[in-house]
Amino acid sequence: MPKHDYIFVDESGDAASKLDPVSGELLSSSYYVAAALHLCDDAFRDLNRHVAAFRYYSGLNRELKIHPQREEFARLLDPIRASMEAGKNIWASVVYVDKLRYNGSYLKPGGRRPPSPVRFRNYMLRRLLEHHFRKYPLQSNQYDLILDRIDLTREETENLWQYISGNRNIPTPLHITHAASIYVEGLQVVHHIANGYKDVVDNGRVPPELTFVNSRDLTTRQYV
């Protein structure tokens, strides 16, 4: 039985909605995506072996930034899907919004709550974890939450901890860690899951290599 769970989280798109005051054109991204990659301690060997082999054969030794339409994108994510389908204690979830149609909390003036990029990120993280844990509960009694977000102040980090640990629908993490994806392979993989969902927001079609992801459109599914 696994002794520890780990959940890596990354986002794609900015946490704001900026409009041109004259044309009304959206100046920020048209979407926001938050993704989670959930592994147990016994699954790390398979993940690390796969990413190491991928780096060796592709020649990509820097931080991985692969466009979803490149062949390497499928080569990176298809084995993750295969590991999940083989029951190797690895799962993934995504929540996303179309910002032009979204009128929920913390994004736009006139929404349910005033605009705040930090609070919007925290809110979407909460919704992501709630969505994920409904389908994929912890396999051990503890987990670490690892975020690809290194620009929070100490006060903002403490507020995030209180926000997550005070939610009865989310298990309280043992640690919340902020890391740069360049040296954490789990964050590099979840980055590509988040990035791959940009096109899903626009056209609704999920790429074959991402069909294993437990996804939910939150554009019109709004809560406090």
CATH number of 5-214: 3.30.420.10
- DSSP codes joined into one string, 72-88: HHHHHHHHHHHHHHTT-
What does the H/E/C string look like for 207-223?
CHHHCCCEEEECCCCCC
pLDDT digit of tens for each residue in the chain (224 aa)?
899 999 999 999 988 887 767 776 777 888 999 999 999 999 998 898 998 888 877 777 667 788 887 888 899 999 999 999 999 999 999 999 999 889 888 998 877 788 899 999 999 999 999 999 999 999 999 999 999 876 778 888 889 999 999 899 999 999 999 988 877 889 999 999 999 998 888 888 898 899 999 999 999 866 65
- How many Å apart are CA 8 and CA 223, to the nearest integer? 24
For the chain, the domains span 5-214
Are 176 and 97 contacting, i.e. CB atoms less than 8 angstroms apart?
Answer: no
Cβ–Cβ under 8 Å, residues 28 and 16: yes
